[in-house]
Structure formats: structure tokens, C-alpha cells
Structure 1
Amino acid sequence: MHLDDYLQFPSTLPILVEDNLFLYPFMISPIFLSDEDNIEAVNLSLKNNTPIIVCPALPEEEGGRDFGSIYKAGVIGSIMRKVELPDGRVKVLFQGMQKGKIVEEIGTKPLQGVVDLIKTHESNSQTSEAGLVILKEKVHALAKVSNYFPPDFLKTINDNNEVHRVCDLIASSMRLKKSQAYELFIIEDDETKLLKLMEFLAEEIEASKLQKEIKTKTHSQIDKINKEYFLKEQLKQIQKELGTDNQRDEEIAEYRRKLEIKKKYMEEDAYKEISKQIDKLSRMHPDSSDASMIQSYLDWVIEIPFEKLASKKLDILDVRAQLDKDHYSLKKPKDRIEEYFAVRELLDRRGIKDKKAKGAILCFAGPPGVGKTSLANSIARALKRELVRIALGGLEDVNELRGHRRTYIGAMPGRVVQGIIEAKEMNPVVVLDEIDKVARSYRGDPTAVLLEILDPEQNNKFRDYYLNFNIDLSKVIFIATANDVSSIPTPLRDRMEFIFLNSYTPQEKYQIAKKYLLPQELKKHGLKNSEVFISKSTLEKIIENYTRESGVRNLRRRLAEILRKCAKQLLIDPEIKKISITNKNIEEYLEKTIFEIEEKEKVDLIGQVNGLAWTSVGGDVLRIEAIKIQGKGTLQLTGSLGDVMKESARIAQSVVKVLIDNNKLAIPLSIIPKPPVDKEGKSAKITPSDVYRRFDLHIHVPEGATPKDGPSAGITMATAIASILSEKKVRSDVAMTGELTLSGKVLPIGGLKEKLIAAYKAKIKTVLIPKKNYDRDLEDIPEEVKSKMEFIAVSRIEEVLKQALI
């Protein structure tokens, strides 16, 4: 059929871009469409009842839908049928008619262009006939050494004498590259086309001959292997008849069998290394030391689950549900975990393989017992993956992670590979516990190996020294935990994103104990809910007076201690059906009160200030005391203070001196001792500045056996010094925290949440905090704390003294 019989060319036609197929005019082909531009082009063709041109995409631009990503020639034809498939794709049946070329670009949504027909130019008929005969001879020659052309196809070519038709038929059956096929496609001259196709055929004939030769050699080798196989089988039967032990041969055969099962799932270097060791073992005497070492190696590597992956698809709703089920509160950490897995799910759904896009490694940071490891457990449960925990605390040998070289006695794979083997899947959740406590020694720096393990750019080819081949860790979900982020080396810290878990409030601890800890411990101790009752006030008392921590680990221990005694009582006295634990009998189950945050003083005192401190087990209220003694203006510090805190005290003294010198802090002159009288009976004039020259200061932070350090006591010490020198009382219901500079500025501090929770427990009504903390950190403070306290933002020491001194 010729289009120019009923349609005038050049003509404007829609353009369909085909990524995979290379079509010819004589073809009727199904085409599957998924992108909108191609579907719109088909719809336009059907709507206007016009032909459509199918143009192949450039090899390097597949997926592109613009004029820069396609060849400018293709097949003009019609859409015979269009069907919409359930998966959203569209299937069309396309009938090719004639070749065409785009002579003018019209539109892009969808692609449209002015298309003209490619006219063929016949050369000298005798030359064409001679070339066609040679071409058919080469086709028959290629058919003898390859399976490109079936007999029916050869008959069709022999019966056809139309040069362009024959060339297109042959080109469509050869495995030409897209660029070669297009080069032939657009040639209009018969002679040129014949010569070009002959060139391609000559190359293919040489390649096919070489392939045939290689196959012949391969078959000879296979025959040799088969011969060896039959001989070995005969030898086995002979050994069996003679009663010889053939267990070792069976073990080697089992290794080979397992290796072949895993072959298609592993990299080539892994297969070669394992296969080489099996061959080496089969040639060794079973009693040699090397045989034992290789057998241990094979026992390890053959268990690596190359072929197994957790099959459950990532679902953010499952992650959210599991986190809410297992953990109370922790809103921000939960949100960040959900965001992390939401990104991974979206990438998986859209088929994006970019390693960098999957984000940094998560690291849960916070005090002991706040739920870092249990969050990782919840993630593993939500994803239906195995959990592997690798304790890094005190790890100092780099080979523990990298694996020992097989030359050493007792060598074994690194902990990560061992974890994957234990998990029996290549994509478990691996928890790197206590990553901040990795040690360094002469055995190397394990953090350097962790850099490679946690880097998504490198860990797809992680090299374990014991295995001696690369293993892919990119599918593993790594989660780290740490108590102190500052002790993690900077390069390693750069590869992780930290999610900070802070202290729980008393109310949060109560809810956790009620909903999680108590039911879990009852089950562990074999007790029923109906057999033990602990009142709300008793639980709150246990939280406040018997534990002192950021998390709930010690609270769990206290509940376990109570339930052990309950279990004993129920067994000793069968008549007891239910045990109630109340404030009256709590001391029968727990020893005396261990911890208690002192409530605020009932009266205002001179030189005693409520400071707030952060500790590894939560916040605390430090009552800083100051006294003055007649002397020469020296400063004495006690209370196991660190260097930073001592410096804060000296800065505070200097700042208060400046305030006195500038008359910003009123000093009653009556408290200053009168100077001695000279010979003339006169004494020197007393000034406010004499107060810090005539008195020595002694500052003490109680609980002297407990080491204390940090800069956030600056304004507290300044207030204590100002109070004692001016003899003004400090409000007992006020607490404060903030770093102080020599110029009197109040700088921000860390650990605000824990400090304010401690102030809340001590029944303090007003807290002075640095202005920057007030602006950025108050939203993180629990509502129950904010509702009971007043927060005042301060930026200078004068504001602090105005609020604190009476």
C-alpha cells in the first residue's frame, strides 16, 4: 500500500517515539505505551483519522520525548486497534506502510512534525541485480553458521527481487545495533544500500564462525568433564563395594550443589573464590591442616544467604502503627523515622535506584534507657525483617568488623557478615549499638571500617578479609545508637543523621509503666493482671523516689523487684488471691527511698540560688551556696567542680565586680568593715567597691563527691555572689540556667528539657532561661511542665538580678 495514493505529502502527522523496537514498513506490530506523550499522539491520530509516524529513540536518549532525543526518520502507518490494559498501559496494533522523514518540527505535546516520504532511487538495473545475487549468497552463508534465518525466510528472500524490500527484510532479522539499522534504513540509493548491508553481513559471518568454533571447543571440554564424571561415579561404586569411607566426597558434592543454587544471586568474584576453594579442598588430603581451614571457610561462606531477601514491601503505615504500639510519647523521633522510611518507600515505588537519595544512616542519641534499641526493634518488626545487634562498646580490633585473614588461627568473618548469616537474609535491620564507645588501639581504628560500612556509595562492594570477595551491604538498614554524640569521630558523624531522644517527664514515665512495663513484667513473672494491683499514686511514688534516670530502665527493675516478691507470696500462701501495692505497704516490697529531688526552700535566703544542671540520667536542681568572710577578696570553690565550672565562677565574680563599680548593684556601706584609723585619727573613705576587697568569697555546690562541670551555671554563680555581697535575698521559687560572658551577656545552653523537668519536680514556679533558648526550644517542653511554670527570657545579667534578688 502506498500512502501517496490517497494522502498528499509533505503532511503534518503526530509522532510516536519507540524506545525498544525498530520497525519497518512491512511490519504489523503491537506497541505498548505507558507515557502520556505517546498516548496523546495515538489519540490525535485516531481523532483526526490520519496516519502516524513511529520514530526510534536515540540509544542514549531512551525515555526522552523531544526532537533532540529521536531519529528524524521512521515508519508511517496506521493504528489498527487500541486497547487500554488494567495496569494503566495502552496497547496499540500498528501497521507500517512507508518510510518517512521529519522535515519540519511543529509541536511537542504531543510531538508533531511535517513528514515527507523517503523515495528510493534505483541504480543501474544490472548492477542492482548482480549485487542482489551476492547479497543472497552471503545470507545463505550466514544461515549455515548461525540461526538468524529460518528456511521460510530464505525462500521469501529468494523469491523477491525488490532491492529495498529484500534489504529491509534481512536487516529486520539480523541483530543490528540501533544506529546501524537506522544507517541502512535511511539510505535511498539501491547500490549504496546493498554494499552497506553486505559489509554488515560479512562482519556477522566472521563473528558467527568464531562463535561456532568456540562452541565446538566447549562441547569437547564438556565431553571431557562428562568422562571424568562417569569415572568418578565408577570410583565411588568401587569404594562402596570395598567399604571405603566416601563421606568427604559427599560433603564436597554438597558444597558444590549449594553453590550452584546460589550462583545466579552472587557476584562472579564470589562464585570464583568459593569454587576455587572447593576445588582445592577436593585435591587435599583430609588430614592436612589446610583442609580443616578451608572446610571452616566453606562452612561459613556457603551459609551466606545470597538468594534470600525479606519479601515484605516497605509500608510507612506499618512503621507508624508499630512505633505507636511499642512506644509512648517520642513524637519527634517517631516523625523523623516515618519521614526516613517514607522517602525510601517513595523511591522504591518509583524505581529510583540513586544510592545517595536514600538518605543518611539514622543514629538514635540520648541517655541510657530512653528506648534507642527498642525503637530499632520496632522498625525491624514493622518491616518483617530480622534484627541483628552488634555491640560496639569497647571494640578496638578492626578485624572484628573487617574479618580476619584466613592465614590466622581461629580466623572468622567480621561481625556484620556473621550477623547477615545469622539473620538468613541479605537485608536485615542491623543495630550498631554504642557507636560512641568504639575504642582505638595498635590493632587499628574500627571507626575507619564503619565509614565504609555506613557509606551508601561504598558498602555495595564491602570487602571482608575472611571472605576475600565483595559483599553487598546496600540492602541492609543500619541504625546506630549513642549516648554521647561528641565522642564520635567527625568523619563518621558526618555519615549519620542524629535523632535525639530526651528524658521522659514523670507523667510520660507513668503512662509507659502502666501501658508497657507493668504488663510485660507481669507476663515475664508468670502473674495475671488480676493477681497484682499497683495504684496510680504508688506508681508515681516509685517513679519519683525510687528511680532517677532519663529513661525507664531502672523503673522496670523496680517493678520486677516488686513482682518477684509478689510471686513468692502467692506460692507461700495459696489463700492470697490478689496483692495490692499502695503507698502504705510499698516499703515492704522496695527498700527505702533512694532518690529524691529536694523541693524548693520555703523561705528566701541570702547567697543560696537554685541552679539547673543536666546529667547523664536527666536534669537536677543544684543549690549553689555562697558566703563571705572578712579577708582580701579571694575566691574559694568547693564541690568537685570541673575546669569549665571554675572558670564560670571567676567570670561571675568579675562581672559582679563591674556591676558594683558601675553602681548597677547597690551595696549597703554598713556591711563593709571600717578601715583602721591612721595616726591623725582619720580613716579612709568607704566605697561600695570595698565590699569585694574586704571579703573573701566561698562558693560551694552541694554533693561534693559528685563531679560537676559545664558552663551553664554562670548566671547562677553570679546571682549567688551578688546576693551575698549586697545582702539581698534570692527568691526561693526561682531557678535559672545560662552561660555568662565577661561583658554580662547570657548565652544559650543545652539540655533545657531535662533541666525544666527537674525544676518542675522541685515545685519551682519561675525559671530564668537565655533568650535564644526561650525563642527556639520551648516548643519541645512537655505541656504539663509549661502549664505549671513561668519562663522568663533573659539576655543580660542585670535582667537576671532584677528577677532573682529581692
Structure 2
Amino acid sequence: MSDDDARVIDQRQYPLLPLRDIVVFPYMVAPLFVGRPLSIGALESAVQDADKLIFLTTQKDPRNDDPAGDDLYSVGTLGKVVQLLKLPDGTVKVLVEGIQRGEIQSFAPGKDYHRVVVTPLQEDASTRSTELEAVMRAVVSAFDAYITLSKKIPPEVNAALVGIDDPARLADTVAGHLQVTIAEKQEVLELLNPARRLEHLLVLLEQETEILQIEGRVRSRVKSQMERSQKEYYLNEQMRAIQKELGQQDDFKQELLQFEQQVDDKKMSTEAQVKARAEIRKLKMMSPMSAEATVVRNYIEMLLSLPWDKGTRDRHDLVKAEQILDEDHYGLFKVKERVLEYLAVQALVKKIKGPILCLVGPPGVGKTSLGQSIAKALQRKFVRMSLGGVRDEAEIRGHRRTYIGAMPGKIIQGLRKVGVKNPVFMLDEIDKMSTDFRGDPSSALLEVLDPEQNNSFVDHFLDVDYDLSSVLFVATANSLHSIPRPLHDRLEVIRIEGYSEEEKLHIARRYLLKKQIAAHGLKADQVQFSDAALYDIIRHYTRESGVRSLDRQIAAVMRKLAKRALLEGKKKHFRVTDKQITKFLGVAQFTYGLREKEDQVGLATGLAWTETGGELLVIEVTTFPGQGKLIITGQLGEVMQESAQAALSYIRSRWQELGLEENMISSLDIHIHVPEGAVPKDGPSAGITIATALASALSGRRVTKEVAMTGEITLRGRVLAIGGLKDKILAARRGGIARVIIPADNRKHLVELPQELVKSIEVETVEHMDQVLALALLPPLG
């Protein structure tokens, strides 16, 4: 600084440059980037003056973009603009040199920049003494140690201090490079006595040096505990070491103590306790932030959260249990009887192995809701696992603990969620599982569903035995043919047949109407359905064995009524008749098979079973001159085509009994057709129907319209048993059939059918095809 700059400056106005996050000291050269318009105006004004002086002071809040007088520290530094450079983005880079302390006396705001009236502050005269010399040397020595530890200040700064003999300049130079807060730097700037300023700086240097030494120790300790490549791990360890240095409690040790206490308190199996304690010992030797520690911690938490010994007490009141089952479901006597038998045996024996029930039936008959009712009747908790589309064995047995994110299987997860060891566990859609390269989940279920093995079920994640023998497993399936034989062997199959129209009517009255009336904001006495209206919905707007579509169609009617209730008055009463159904639901979506109006030649009525229930199946046969070819149409499956071949062979063998000429069949082409050709049809039970139609077409005898039939035929004419008997007889009654022909082997199944159904139609049982022809073919005309 020149002698002109060092002269005492009288009180006068200067342009003001507010500073953010920096304090400029005398003798200090500082580069600044300026972007605020008022600050740029102050710099331009200072440059235009001959002495280029500007007053530099720090604002108290760096977030304030337009500081006024009270927002600035009153003591600042009078500086000189050494160099000014305008950048392309509109900001200004300026180099300023501090000259002398000054204090703001008044603040004069301006349009282009602010000005302040400043009184120069003179340094207190300090007598050179031995004590002052000692303080100066101590400051230089402490600053040297600070630079060594900090590594943020170039070593040249310390070399420059050696040549400074002025106490005030030494203090300002050190303060300018010290890494402390703005408030602490401002405090140094406001000290006018060089000796006191040096002493204050010495205290700050000692404090900062001690902090840097602690940081160095922390860094060294952490480095010795980690690998060089694990940067994230290092940062977490550094934080932990800092907390330890500050004396905070170690949460990780507390967590380990809690784990050990929980293992002691939990009534786990002996194997599980040994495994848990071994994992806790392993966790103690790991860093809490490592990936492996996370896996071990999750495993311990899973072991501790399982219901090893916690269960619910079953309800042994058979009357109450039967009442609950009857309230929730109409019919289904076999299932209800089986549940009551289980309760009775358990009440006597106290402990039996849980049976594996499998409810098999078409969609919508209430299999899943029946599982909930069983849990309610037993007073057990209910958990459901959907197996539809499951193809990964790990869904059942869990993942092995070889990576982060490994989890136990759905069986263990379900028990953990429900919190007891003896819930009703529903395995929904057990026939929808599949197999691929990830394993065979149906084979994994063999251990789960075997009462002799599931008391020691091993999940890959747990790797210890878990007792599933107290769980009541209930499986559901639409059909049994896709369930592997070994799995099927472990299931106690209970078939739920489709509902008859009368049963659907009762279900709608007792359950569906009440539910939908309440769901649509109407009152119970506000809506009435006639039986004819419900029958119309059942017959013409649904095609199913269950009641799911019926529920949706009733909901559609309720939406229309809710709209009318708002438009015509909320208290209006509605009576729904069959004449209004078309208005509410549109034209009929389905038709059901009806018997033929006349007795015809070459046309027989059969009975078929589909996933939506029973249907009448019309078989048509016509003949014309040809070479003995058999034509089959109607999109028939392989089994049904083979039945047609077998039926024709039987008719060929009985040509004399039917009164046919010897070579008559060889000179004719025969066409067998089953209408509704777009619908795939398959199964052996149409055998006797095809044979009857063939016999009629070749002999010219009519088939009675009153008869429908079902049964498989052999080449010798034997009639074999069929399935779906209830649905087929329901379809016959609905179509107006008076007499049904069934195989004699199915006679025993009639006992299981509702008596009102059996009494409503005449059932004939046959053992041979000759009996079928005697019942179905009318005598020749004339």
C-alpha cells in the first residue's frame, strides 16, 4: 500500500459494496464476483473517481438481495478497486484491496447504487514489548500448525508471515486466511487493538487446530476399519466415529441387546433359538452398515416375528358353527358337514393333524367365501394365497439367503402377517399353477400339504423346521385334471356342483338382493323383485354355474333404480317384474336349449356339461348315396370324434336287429353334425346320443322328443358312467324334457342330488345300447 493510501482519510461519502459470506481485512487483496445491479453501480462509480475508493462491509443475512442500513455490519473496510472486468453474462469480476477500517455513520440509498458516510477507525497504539513479541510468534507458530492440518491454505502464506513485523498487519493477514464463521471474522475486524486482536486470533487458532486434530483421528480410525474401494461405507463409518467422539449412544449395540432379549423371551423351537443366537454372534462381528449385516438383521427379525407358539382357541360349539355356515351360504351340505365333523373330532381328541380340504367347482359358486366362513365358524384367523399363475418354486419355499432382497415363501409370509400358527390358510386357484425353468411350485406344495411331513416344513430363507400341522389348509380349484397326481393324492376333494335355478333364486333372495340394495344406497323395503324377474335374469342374462354374473346383473338393475330414486324422490318404492327386465338390462344375452317340438328322424337330444353348467346338445345325422364315408362337423374334439366312430361301428354290428340291408351302410355317406359349430365340444358322454341319431337316420324310425340322454358307448354297446350328472339333469328339466336316460353306473349318484330335482323328472338307467334304442326310438310308421 502506498503512502497516499495509508494517510488518514477524513469522514466522507463512499459508494457501498455489500458482501456475502466474506469479510475483507486491511492489507488483503480479494477477488469478487458481483452480479447485483446496485453493487455493479457502486463499482462503476468508484472506478470513475480518481482514488477508486469503495466501502466494503458484510451483510448479516446473505439471502437478502437488497440490504439496507440495519442489514449490514456497521464496521467494514475501506478498499480500493485494483481491477475491474465485465463478463459476458452481465456479472463483474473485481479485484479489491483493503486499506483501512471504517465505521458507517449514515446510509444514503440511491437509484443506481447506495452511498454511506464513513468515519475512518484508527488502530490503537501498541507499545512493542516482550509479551507482544511472544504473542506474535505464538500466532505464527499456531497458524503454521493450522495450515499443516487444514491443507486448504497454500504453504506460501505462512512464508509471507515471517516478513511481517507490524502486529496489526500480522493479525489482519492471519484473520483473512482463517477458516472460521463470518461472525467470528467480523468480531476480529471490530477489534482495534492489535494486541487484543492477536490474542483473540490465538484462541481461534487453538480451537480450530483441535477440531482438525479430532477430524484427523476420526479419519485414521475409520480408514483402519474399511477397504479403500468402499467409499460409501467409509462415509457412514466416519459419521459413526464422529458420534462416538461426541459421546452419543451406540444404537447398534442397543439393537443387538434387544435381539438377544427377544430370543430369550420368544417361545421358539430349540433349533430356531440356536440359529438365532449364532446369527446374532455373527452380526456382532460385522459393521452395521455393510450389505451382509442387512441380510443377517432381516433374517433375525423374520425369525423373531413368526408365531412359533401363538395360536387361537377353536370354537367347539357345533350348533353355533352350523348356524354361522348356514347364515353365510345356501346349500353346500357336504362341505358344512365335513367342517362340523372336523370340529367334533377336535373337541374329543383336542389335537388332530389339520386336514387338507380341496373345494372343486365352477367359478362363482362361493369356494373362496366358504373358506372365510369356515374360519369364522372355527373362530380362527383367515389368510389367503392366490396360486393363479405362480410358476416360481421360491413363492412356496422362499429364496435362499444369498443376496439382498431374499424373502421367505408366501406360506411363511402369510403366517407372519396373520400372527398365529393355526389359521385357516386358503390356497386359491391351486389348479392354475404352472411350471418353467424356475421350478415346479406344485411339487413344492407336496411337503406343505402332507399331514405326515408338514410338522417339519423347511423354508429356504428360514433354513429351520417350522410346524405347519396346526394350519387348516383349504384349497380351491375349478377342475382336477390340471392338478398333478401326487398333489391330488394329498387333497380331500369336496365337489361343489353348480346351483340349480331354484337355488340361485334362494341365494338372490337371501344374500344378493340385500347386499346390492344396501350397496346402492336404497332401503330394504324400497325394492321388491318378483320371482319371474329373477328367473328371467337367471335364464336370459347369465350363463354360469355360480352366481357371480347374477350378482352383477342385479347390481345393474339397482343402478337404474338408484337413478330413478334421485329423479323421482328418494322415498319412492319400486317393484321389478319380468316385463321390466328388458328395459333395465337390454335384450336377452343368452338362450337355453329347449326340447324339439316334434319327433324327428336322425335327430337325438343329448346332455352336455360345460364350465357354465349343463346344456342340451342336439345331434343331427343325415345320409345320402356315396361310398361309406363318415363326415363329422361342429368343431368336435378328438374324444367326441372317436365316440362317433365307436357309435357307427356299433350300429354296423347291429344291422340285422335294426332291420337294415347288409351292404346298406357301405353305399351311403353319413354326415354327423352338432349345431353351434363355433363352440368347441368334446367328451365321451355323447356316445349313446350319436348312436341313437345314427340308428334313427338309417332305420327311418323317429326319436321321441320327450327323451334326452347321456352316456359313453363301447363297441359292444355297453353304456359307461359319465360326470356332471346334476348339471345335466338341471338342463333337461329347464328344456322341458320329460325323461332322461343315464348309465346304470350313475344310479348311485342320484342319492346325492336334491330330491325335488329327482322327483321333477323321470330318470331311466341303462346298461346297454339296446335299452337306449328301445326307450328312444318310436315304432316305424304304418
Equivalent AA in structure 2 for residue 790 of structure 1: E
Partner of 1:256: 260
| Pairwise CA distance, 1:465 | 1.1
Change (3 A) 1:730 1:575: same
Question: Is contact 2:272-2:303 (8 Å) kept?
Answer: no
SS in 1 for 2:684: coil
1:763 aligned to 2:736? yes
644, 649, 653: which one aligns with 1:649: 644
SS in 1 for 2:751: helix
Partner of 1:199: none
- The farther-off stretch of 587-596 and 499-508 is 587-596
Question: Aligned equivalents of 1:791 and 1:250: distance in 2?
Answer: 78
1:287 aligned to 2:280? no
Question: Is contact 1:597-1:620 (8 Å) kept?
Answer: yes
796, 799, 803: which one aligns with 2:768: 796
Q: Give per-residue Cα distances to partners, 1:265-290, cap 9 Å, x unaligned.
A: 21112112223333433443232112
Question: Is contact 1:657-1:689 (8 Å) kept?
Answer: no
Question: Aligned equivalents of 2:354 and 2:381: distance in 1?
Answer: 21
Question: Aligned equivalents of 2:264 and 2:323: distance in 1?
Answer: 41
Partner of 1:665: 658
| Pairwise CA distance, 1:252 | 3.4
Question: Aligned equivalents of 2:303 and 2:481: distance in 1?
Answer: 38
SS in 1 for 2:414: helix
- The farther-off stretch of 434-443 and 740-749 is 434-443
| Pairwise CA distance, 1:737 | 0.5
Question: Is contact 1:430-1:479 (8 Å) kept?
Answer: yes
Q: Give per-residue Cα distances to partners, 1:314-354, cap 9 Å, x unaligned.
A: 44333322211111112223222322332232211xxxx5x
Equivalent AA in structure 2 for residue 730 of structure 1: V
Change (3 A) 1:250 1:571: farther
Is there any run of 5+ residues in structure 1 with no aligned partner, and where?
A: 1-235, 668-687
Partner of 2:48: none
Change (3 A) 1:312 1:801: closer
Q: Give per-residue Cα distances to partners, 1:542-577, cap 9 Å, x unaligned.
A: 111111111111111111222233333333444562
1:271 aligned to 2:273? yes
Equivalent AA in structure 2 for residue 748 of structure 1: A
Question: Aligned equivalents of 1:540 and 1:651: distance in 2?
Answer: 40
Equivalent AA in structure 1 for residue 461 of structure 2: Y
Question: Is contact 2:362-2:611 (8 Å) kept?
Answer: yes
| Pairwise CA distance, 1:402 | 0.6
Normalization by structure 1: what TM-score?
0.64
Change (3 A) 1:283 1:570: farther
| Pairwise CA distance, 1:470 | 1.4
Partner of 2:720: 747
1:610-689 equivalence runs, <5 A: 610-660=605-655, 663-667=656-660, 688-689=661-662
Partner of 1:696: 669
| Pairwise CA distance, 1:514 | 0.6
Question: Aligned equivalents of 1:257 and 1:537: distance in 2?
Answer: 68
| Pairwise CA distance, 1:360 | 4.3
521, 530, 552: which one aligns with 1:526: 521
SS in 2 for 1:690: coil
Q: Give per-residue Cα distances to partners, 1:575-613, cap 9 Å, x unaligned.
A: 562233221211232132122212211111111111001
Percent identical? 47
Question: Is contact 1:753-1:780 (8 Å) kept?
Answer: no
| Pairwise CA distance, 1:403 | 0.8
1:733 aligned to 2:706? yes
Normalization by structure 2: what TM-score?
0.66
1:86-101 equivalence runs, <5 A: none
Q: Number of aligned residue pairs: give it.
A: 538
Partner of 1:304: 306
SS in 1 for 2:481: helix
Question: Is contact 2:434-2:440 (8 Å) kept?
Answer: yes
Equivalent AA in structure 2 for residue 333 of structure 1: V
Question: Aligned equivalents of 1:793 and 1:333: distance in 2?
Answer: 28
Question: Aligned equivalents of 2:339 and 2:628: distance in 1?
Answer: 56
| Pairwise CA distance, 1:313 | 4.3
Question: Is contact 2:269-2:308 (8 Å) kept?
Answer: no
1:472 aligned to 2:467? yes
SS in 2 for 1:689: coil
Partner of 1:423: 418
Question: Is contact 2:291-2:404 (8 Å) kept?
Answer: no
SS in 1 for 2:654: helix
Equivalent AA in structure 2 for residue 386 of structure 1: K
Partner of 2:386: 391
1:557 aligned to 2:552? yes
Question: Is contact 2:358-2:493 (8 Å) kept?
Answer: yes
Partner of 1:335: 337
Over aligned residues, Cα RMSD in angstroms? 2.1
Change (3 A) 1:290 1:534: same
| Pairwise CA distance, 1:516 | 1.2
Partner of 1:676: none
1:406 aligned to 2:377? no
| Pairwise CA distance, 1:738 | 0.8
Partner of 1:378: 373
Q: Give per-residue Cα distances to partners, 1:81-131, cap 9 Å, x unaligned.
A: xxxxxxxxxxxxxxxxxxxxxxxxxxxxxxxxxxxxxxxxxxxxxxxxxxx
Question: Aligned equivalents of 1:570 and 1:297: distance in 2?
Answer: 58
| Pairwise CA distance, 1:258 | 3.0
Is there any run of 5+ residues in structure 2 with no aligned partner, and where?
A: 1-239
| Pairwise CA distance, 1:741 | 0.8
SS in 1 for 2:524: coil
Question: Aligned equivalents of 2:340 and 2:481: distance in 1?
Answer: 26
| Pairwise CA distance, 1:626 | 1.0
Change (3 A) 1:296 1:573: farther
Partner of 1:489: 484
SS in 1 for 2:560: helix
